[in-house]
Amino acid sequence: MNLWDYYRILGIRQGASDDEIRKAYRKKALEYHPDRNHSPDAEEMFIRINEAYEYLTSHPHGRNISEEEVRRNYQAWVNYRQAEARRRAASYARATYEEFRKSPVYKSTTHIDGAMVFLGLLLGAAVMIMSVYGYKYRMLAAVNPREEPSLALAALTFIMGFSYTVISFLYLSAWLVQQKKKKQLSDERKKENKESVQS
């Protein structure tokens, strides 16, 4: 295999973002894990998918580096890390799919969309505000007791909005931790790449 095969195996374009690589990897790993796919070539394809993922997430592909640097990085990968990545992938292939999902490589593909987290926070807050405002408005507008809004329904709507806000805050904290880990991994990979290219 060569560097460009890695993109083809994951079904992504060259220079894809890390998030696109993670999403493609999760999809392909689900499709080709030998515990789920019993075709004769599933294990080898699964190993290649893992190899492609490990290379593409650990090297500065398509990030304003020269073609010569790309070749040197790939050659260093082949010389020092490719066999190790294939061994790791083979052990994941022998594991059940549920065991594989608990592996560090699979967990590293978890993606929390920051925009959706903030949208969730806004939606939860909006539901709470509108339930209180709507209840007060309907109480003021009511002419007789039959037109008064249901306090139980207003409370239920407020509780739903509050619950959604709490869940969004939990996702926000997970997203912040994920962003911190991404930065740490990126810094570590840059350091490793510089060391492997220099040696």
CATH number at residue 8: 1.10.287.110
> Do 133 and 75 belong together in one domain?
no
Tell me if 36 sits within 8 A of 30, measured CB to CB.
Answer: yes
Q: Identify the domain boundary among 92, 107, 122.
A: 107
> Do 63 and 89 belong together in one domain?
yes
Q: Is the pLDDT of residue 198 over 70?
A: no
- Tens digits of per-residue pLDDT, 37-72? 999 999 999 999 999 998 888 776 555 667 777 778
User: What proportion of the chain, given as a percentage, has pLDDT over 70?
Assistant: 91
Q: What is the DSSP string of 52-108?
A: HHHHHHHS-TTSS--HHHHHHHHHHIIIIIHHHHHHHHHHHHHS-HHHHHTSHHHHT
> Do 12 and 98 belong together in one domain?
yes
> Do 95 and 128 belong together in one domain?
no
pLDDT tier at 182 (50, 70, 90 boundaries)? confident
Whole-number Å distance between alpha carbons of 102 and 137: 51
What pLDDT, on the 0 to 100 scale, is given for residue 60?
A: 62
Q: Identify the domain boundary among 91, 107, 123.
A: 107
> Do 102 and 119 belong together in one domain?
no
> Do 11 and 89 belong together in one domain?
yes
User: Which of 68-82, 108-122, 161-175 has the highest mean predicted lDDT (pLDDT)?
Assistant: 161-175
What pLDDT, on the 0 to 100 scale, is given for residue 61?
A: 58
User: What proportion of the chain, given as a percentage, has pLDDT over 90?
Assistant: 35
Average predicted confidence (pLDDT) for the chain: 85
Whole-number Å distance between alpha carbons of 158 and 155: 5
> Do 102 and 118 belong together in one domain?
no
User: Which residues does 14 contact at the CB level (< 8 Å), separation at least 6?
Assistant: 4, 7, 61, 62
> Do 130 and 160 belong together in one domain?
yes
Give the residue numbers spanning the domain of 8. 3-107
> Do 81 and 122 belong together in one domain?
no
Q: How many domains does the chain have?
A: 2
Q: Identify the domain boundary among 107, 140, 156.
A: 107
- Tens digits of per-residue pLDDT, 81-135? 888 888 889 999 989 988 888 888 887 777 677 788 889 999 999 999 999 999 9
